[in-house]
Amino acid sequence: MPPPRPIAGQASAEYVALLAVVGAVVAGAAAVGSPPALAVKLAAALRHGICRVADGVCTSSQARAAGLSPCLVQARTDRERLGGRMLVVRLGRGDALLVERRSDGSAAVSFTDGASAGATVGVGLRLPSGPRVNARGGAGVQFSAGRTWEFASFAAAARFVRRWAPRESLGGEAVGLLRRACPICRRRPSPAMPKPDATFHEGGGYGELAAALRLGLRSAGAGAEEEGEAGLIMGRRVARGGRVTWYDRIDVEAAGRLGAVLGAVQARHASEAALEITSVHGRPVELRVRAAARWHGEVDLPAGAGSLSDVTAVLRGAPAPPPGGFGRRVEVEVALDLTDPANRRALAGAAEVLALRVRPSNWGDRLRALAERLDAEGAVDVRLLRVGLEERDLGAEAALGLVVGGNYRRTQEIRDLVGAWSLRGGGGLREREDCVSA
């Protein structure tokens, strides 16, 4: 009696045959001019077959069975900022709306109110030959508070935004203040917003620097400009069920030393990094480190057989991003289970330094110990996103013995998920088709 064929091998062979059939049908349909709807269905079937053969995460049920959280497939942010200046003093007020859609169909809506106060100074120099140099710098403090609501569907979140977003904008808040201040304008009390599922508060300092070089009249329009901004922000997020998360926007160089994957992203000119510690009823349960960088082109990760070293090699070998990053962004998250005593011990040394803002002589050893645990036990998630950005800036300034000015800026950003991959301890990298197909 011949030995039975392995089930996994049989399944792979069957899917390879299926892919061949689907590929032939797609090719034939393209030759005769297939309707777009049919082409889309055939392409989806082909992609799903490849996912099955490559041992990817192909459905939401597979993701839940593997202990994977839903992916963020789209985020839309609408920010408003109103600022004023008198002499060297600057004051600012800002609002933000964030709408997030996940791969399981759920969504979240967040409203944020912020304020800032600081000082700014500028200097200028004009040489006899014509070139002119201007520089401006400033520093201050900023604070913000926000609320988040969770929804089972994106449609429910959209209805919530249509109902409450106008009132939460800068213009809506100004109208509300006028109505409360004017007895004649008062109407019946406005309905209260539903209770949020989570609240957050954050604050810290910021610094900014801008410089410009302008050449003489013979080279009108020629010159160069540089701008930079840095901040030190800490925050606290409180959700239902006793879940509390403290987060800190850390230096990208420090984040790059927390393991191989984070180091690979930092090497590609990472612009953002954050560290989060979450506890439930006072017990630490998770450390999460995030990093993001502008990207050029696509990410081709070896799903199905990829290891941590494979992921690192791909991220380090990507082309250097040109200015603007061609609308691409790579985000990496590494999470560590803090219910494991060894992981808690590795975090303790670095957490003390982050809290005290000092660097002892063994700072490097503490970071290496934490990086080793993140590499060995961390859960890695990689995302490639397409970013669209639109800005509107209005401002004016007068100097008649007293420098007075103001400006209004509105920024709209949309991030769409292009690809997602997950790697868990003891397994290989798996492509998240369940995320992209949502």
Q: Using the 8-state DSSP alphabet, how is residue 147 labeled?
A: E
User: Dihedral sign, CA of 306, 308, 329, 268?
Assistant: negative
Mean pLDDT within 353-376: 73
Q: Is the pLDDT of residue 414 over 90?
A: yes
User: Dihedral sign, CA of 114, 115, 119, 124?
Assistant: positive
Mean pLDDT within 50-67: 72
Most confident by average pLDDT, 139-143, 322-326, 329-333: 329-333
Beta strand 430-431 pairing with 328-337: unpaired
**Looking only at Cα atoms, what is the longest distance across the chain?**
102
Q: Which residues of 64-78 are buried (b: 16+ CB within 10 A; e: fewer)?
A: eeeebebbbbbbbbb
> Based on the structure, what is the number of domains in the chain?
2
User: Do 105 and 2 reside in the same domain of the chain?
Assistant: no
User: Do 10 and 90 reside in the same domain of the chain?
Assistant: no
HEC string for 315-329: HHCCCCCCCCHHHEE
User: Do 125 and 170 reside in the same domain of the chain?
Assistant: yes
Rounded Cα distance, 416 and 352, in Å: 37
The count of other CB atoms within 10 Å of the CB of residue 145 is 15
Supply the mean pLDDT for the chain.
74
Mean pLDDT within 55-63: 74
User: Do 29 and 109 reside in the same domain of the chain?
Assistant: no
Question: Residue 64 falls within a domain, yes or no?
Answer: no
116 vs 35, residue with greater confidence: 116
Question: Residue 59 falls within a domain, yes or no?
Answer: no
Q: Is the pLDDT of residue 353 over 60?
A: no
Contact in structure between 393 and 356 (CB atoms under 8 Å) = no
Question: Residue 60 falls within a domain, yes or no?
Answer: no
The Cα-based distances of 59 to 40, 55, 423 in angstroms read 18, 12, 16
**Domain span holding position 39:** 1-53
Contact in structure between 264 and 250 (CB atoms under 8 Å) = no
- Write the pLDDT tens digit of every residue in 277-309: 999 999 999 999 998 888 777 777 766 667 788
Rounded Cα distance, 418 and 420, in Å: 7
- Write the pLDDT tens digit of every residue in 111-163: 999 877 766 655 555 555 555 656 666 667 788 899 999 999 999 999 999 99
Question: Residue 157 falls within a domain, yes or no?
Answer: yes
Q: Is the pLDDT of residue 211 over 60?
A: no
Q: Is the pLDDT of residue 79 over 70?
A: yes
Question: Residue 65 falls within a domain, yes or no?
Answer: no
